Chains A and B, each alone.
Chain A
Amino acid sequence: MPAIVVEDLRKSYGPVRAVQGVSFTVETGEVFGLLGPNGAGKTTIVEILEGYRRRDGGRVEVLGEDPARGARGFKRRAGMVLQECAVEPYLSVREVVELHRGYYPSPLPGDEVIDLVGLSESADVRVMRLSGGQQRRLDLALALVGDPELLFLDEPTTGFDPSARRNAWEIVRSMRRLGKTILLTTHYMDEAQNLTDRICVVSHGQVVRIGTAVSLRAERAATSIRFVKPDGLTVPEVGDLMPSGEDGLVAVVTDTPTRTLHELTAWAMAHGVELERLEVTQPSLEDVYLELTGGE
């Protein structure tokens, strides 16, 4: 049974059509990424799935329930990391975690959760004295404390420094290994690429593409061969020639990289020149993403 089913979901705020007919399915045990620029409708979609917002139309099922009915059973089985949600500032990390443990029928041990998110050394520190990154880790701890089957992570690493992000990724991976289903929103490409099984690219409230990072990348098959243009020579017409950018490299874009590369190197050798800083690159997910979302 899929963990999440979304069919033709629609939501407007006054005249603004924030979500326009979005459909996707998240399988149990899958890490599913909603990727899109700010204002694409990611948070609206997630908040409808979490039961915070009413939808205007379409069908939504989360863990077999309609979240709009606000049943407690569903909240016991799902953990949420929300954007910009404070924790009681005058309680310590341990006190908050213990308080939240009391909300769930079979919570994880408090120390284990605190340790998992790397807050052991700050367990007795009051929430108000935590750094921004530590507070986000506490968010994650509170989402995990009820031992959920399903995790909603709405931009969980925004504002993290690189090492904190790596740690958060490690936690997500370990949750995945435990068989948890995870719905993640992000506008970081590398995060989507590193963590998710499938990516759903959202733009202007619509699904642009769903697929694995590899399959999305494969959509733009063209490979770039880049090098410093030798002085006084004209590059032969073996592919689409792109003028040099900031890095001073020209790029030849081709669907047949083996052949094109052979032709270019043969041409260079015939003129007795070296192709300085020669490189062959695959399109990055970022290129695909920018193309799909219209470069926003």
Chain B
Amino acid sequence: MSELSVSLGQVRAEQKSFWRNPTAAFFGFAFPLMFLLIFGTIFKGQTVCVDGYYNNRGQCVGGGVQVPYNTFFVPTMAAWGVLTACYVNLAMSVTNRRDAGLLKRLRGTPLPPAAYVVGVVGSALITALITVALTELVGHYLYSAPWPAHWLQSLVIVLLGGAVFCALAMAVTVLIPNADAAIAVVNISYLPLLFISGFFFSFNDTVLNDIAKVFPIYWFKEAMLTAFGARLSVSGWDGGDLLVLLAWGVVGLAIALRFFRWMPRRA
């Protein structure tokens, strides 16, 4: 058996497990799509001030450009879908498996650790791509959002962002003491950032804005908006977005390589 076919076998097994597990499939896939339908319906026909905010006279200021809500929220919900598949679901499933001794069992086999990681990461990226594609289709046909402005760039950003959040997911498992704590640690580490990174609406608060800009979620959203054509002030690649995102990816990878645990923690 070559390394490649072993890795592909792992990806296949991961995909099977994912779609057969109702909890994983819901929280790792259907959850953001549900919000796509909810927000798409609530804010239908409204506008959003991208990269700026509405002042008290209702004008889009602060360097922002006004776009239809659907144009904005289809890429942000797609970004959330990537986060869900690559960060939330990966961190939870790896922690659960570590605690159940599944990772320990694999360490006793000749399966190379890298092949296992390729399996879970590859599977997460596939799920992310399916989520993004479905978000696009629903957004386009149900809420008349435009197709992505830059197809190739969108694909690259989804895969790149997905890989960064996979690395961060592996890193965050180091902080999660046991499976019971997984959902709390994972949610606290990303849900507040979704709101202050402006995934759902724009707002005017420099402090929250500055906090958001420290973290990769904000920059991933920016990169997605750019690629999908929702940031009218920017076109093509924006290296600034990617810099912070990639730096976090490197940090995540370094932590995961150094501190990742295969063994369950026993009392």
- Chain A residues within 8 Å of B, Cβ to Cβ: 50-52, 72, 75-76, 80, 82, 84-91, 95, 99-100, 102-105, 126, 142, 146
Contact = CB atoms under 8 A, between A and B. Distances in A.
A85 B101 contact: yes
B99 to A, nearest CB: 9
Interface of B: 1, 5-6, 9-10, 13, 16-17, 20-21, 97, 100-102, 104-105, 107-112, 263
A124 to B, nearest CB: 13
B12 to A, nearest CB: 9
A80 B97 contact: no
A102 B263 contact: no
A103 B13 contact: no
B102 A100 contact: no
Contacts of B110: 72, 75-76, 103-104, 146
Nearest to A86: B100
B108 A75 contact: yes
A88 B13 CA distance: 9
A151 to B, nearest CB: 12
A79 to B, nearest CB: 8
A288 to B, nearest CB: 32
A86 B101 contact: yes
Given A52-B263, A102-B1, A102-B6, A91 B16 contact: yes
Contact of A86 (B5, B16, B97, B108): B97
Contacts of B104: 52, 82, 85
Given A90-B17, A104-B1, 14 more contacts: A51-B107, A52-B263, A80-B105, A82-B104, A84-B101, A85-B100, A85-B104, A85-B105, A86-B101, A87-B105, A88-B102, A91-B13, A99-B9, A100-B109
5 contacts: A84-B101, A85-B101, A85-B105, A86-B100, A103-B109
Contacts of B112: 72
A52 B111 contact: no
Contacts of B21: 89-90
B108 A102 contact: no
Nearest to B17: A90
B97 A105 contact: no
A75 B109 contact: yes
